[in-house]
Amino acid sequence: MRVVVQRVSSARVAVAGEVVGQIDHGLLVLVGIEAIDTPADGEWLANKLAKLRIFADADGQMNRSVTDVGGGILLVSQFTLHASTQKGTRPSFNAAARPEQAVPLYEKFIIQLGLALGRPVQTGQFGAMMKISLVNDGPVTLIIDSHSRE
């Protein structure tokens, strides 16, 4: 699994003009599921995200996690995170998991992330055309891949 994590002051996702998920301060997490991913990838990422110290402490240092600050998480599926642009100018998405594999892993990841965070997470709608609005705080944006374990 690959995620793009953005520390946000607020974020929301809409489908067909209707808001389906939103948070105030916290993390917007875009997740791409690869064909080789397993529930263990989701468990590792969920624990990493809940404990990732990218929020400021009293001294302005990034020493607090989303859990520590009581922030929310908005999780949005995004298969394009596994695009390959190696050949030509049209991306290939062959590495991305097909929906029949990705949906159960995505749904499991929602549960794993909620357990690691200690409260439910907000989500987009898998496979839908979504409009995401956010106020990036910092900006702080990270890319984490469960296969490189960085």
The catalytic position among 78, 112, 122, 123 is: 78
Q: How many C-alpha atoms does 137 have within 13 Å on its Cβ side?
A: 17
The catalytic position among 38, 80, 93, 141 is: 80
Of 114, 129, 31, nearest in space to 73 by CA = 114
Phi, psi of 19, deg, nearest 5: -70, 125
Asked about 101 being catalytic, the answer comes back as: no
Asked about 78 being catalytic, the answer comes back as: yes
The catalytic position among 6, 55, 79, 112 is: 79
In whole angstroms, give the CA distance from residue 149 to residue 54: 17
Residue type, 100: E
- Give the N- to C-terminal CA distance of the chain in Å, as an integer: 12
Per the listing, tokens 């409009």 go with: 131
Asked about 125 being catalytic, the answer comes back as: no
Active site residues: 78-80
